[in-house]
Amino acid sequence: MTENSPAGLNVVIPVYNERENILRTLAELERHTPVLTDVWIVHDTPEDTTLLALPDYKGERLRLRPCLNGFGRGCLNAIRYGLSRVEEGPAIVVMGDMSDDLRIIPQMMEAAEAGADLVCGSRYMPGGRHIGGPLFKKTLSRLAGISLQRLVRFPTHDVTNSFKLYSQRVLRAVEIESSGGFELGMEFTVKAWILGLKIVEIPSIWKDRFAGESRFRLWAWLPHYLRWYLLALHHGVWRLLRGASRPNP
């Protein structure tokens, strides 16, 4: 592989001092990505401890692309920045804390090859699971996902999960407005649905991190999630009323 040969897949990982987790995350990625993959590891400061672990990565299929967050600090800016670096091929957003179910990456890629524009890792559809983490946060996230799916036939049971694959089509079509925490994945999914893009979901198992600390700020970010929830609800009701609902296969 050369430095510039195109990769078949991109993975964007926002990181904040994930020294204890990143090598395990990369080992899992290496195991489950079937093709050469560019891994955009987006950190906020040059001192981030994650960088200290990267020289110990000895695998071959991942091309590590650590980069300083060029859009300002914070996880949302980090994901946005990582996605902005992706020039071709699909991009999967993965957390650096070993919570996401990387075993489904081949299925996500197959779905994209079969025409899906956005593929959601789904904890709340049959076969998916959400293990650990604060009960209140889990309940809200499950309620949001399942209510949208039931009430307005939203094409995934798990709109709030960040673990998603984005095709170039979605990345180009969606103009990002989010500014809070991790609600970017929700914005992408709601807007892709409104634009009539094809969304599919695959069951996935989320497990709470076992090293390091969560930086999730539920109360501060809740209004940001609510904005996209209400937009989806509003659009969904309008679609149902007009009889124009087209459920995704």
Residues contributing to the site for Mg ion (CB under 5 A):
97, 99, 209
In order of 6, 11, 38, 143, the CA distances from 88 in angstroms are 8, 12, 11, 35
In the list Mg ion, ligand GTP, none, the entry touching 16 (Cβ below 5 to 8 angstroms by class) is ligand GTP
The interface with ligand GTP within residues 197-226 (CB under 6 A) comprises 209, 214-216
Which of these, 99, 153, 104, 147, lies nearest to 127 by C-alpha position? 104
Sort strands 129-131 and 37-43 into parallel, antiparallel or unpaired. Answer: unpaired
Region of 10-18, 56-64, 117-125, 142-150 interacting with ligand GTP (CB under 6 A): 10-18
Q: How far is the CB of 71 from ligand GTP (least distance, A)?
A: 10
| Residue in the structure block whose two tokens are 């089509």 | 169
Report helix, strand or coil for 199: strand
Pick from 14, 89, 145, 203 the residue near ligand GTP by CB under 6 A: 14
Q: Rounded to the nearest whole angstrom, what is the least distance from the CB of residue 98 to Mg ion in the complex?
A: 8
Q: Which amino acid is at 136?
A: F
Helix (H, G, I), strand (E, B) or coil at 203: strand
Buried b (16+ CB within 10 A) or exposed e, 86-107: beebbbbbbbbbbbbbbebbeb
Q: Report the alpha-carbon distance of residue 148 to residue 202 in Å, rounded.
A: 17
Q: Site residues for ligand GTP, window 138-177 (CB under 6 A)?
A: none
Return the number of the residue (33 or 50) whose C-beta is nearest ligand GTP. Answer: 50
Under the binding rule (CB under 6 A), the answer on residue 43 touching ligand GTP is yes
Q: Verify binding: residue 182, ligand GTP, rule CB under 6 A.
A: yes
**123 part of the interface to ligand GTP, by CB under 6 A:** no
Q: Binding residue for ligand GTP (CB under 6 A) from 39, 80, 83, 96? A: 96
89 near ligand GTP, judged by CB under 6 A: no
The binder of 78, among ligand GTP, Mg ion, none, by C-beta within 5 to 8 A per type, is ligand GTP
Q: Answer yes or no whether residue 180 interacts with ligand GTP by CB under 6 A.
A: no
Q: Which residues pair with 164 in a beta bridge?
A: 93, 120
Q: Which does 14 bind (CB under 5 to 8 A by kind): ligand GTP, Mg ion, none?
A: ligand GTP
> In the bound complex, what is the minimum distance in angstroms from residue 66's beta carbon to ligand GTP?
11
DSSP 54: G
Q: How far is it, in rounded angstroms, from Cα 121 to Cα 101? A: 8
Output the CA torsion sign for 121, 124, 130, 136: positive
3-class DSSP assignment, residue 193: helix
Q: Give me the amino acid identity at 105.
A: I
The CB-of-242 to Mg ion minimum distance in angstroms stands at 39
CB of 245 to ligand GTP, least distance (A): 31
Q: Which residues of the chain form contacts with ligand GTP (CB under 6 A)?
A: 14-16, 18, 42-44, 69, 73-75, 78, 95-97, 99, 133, 182, 209, 214-216
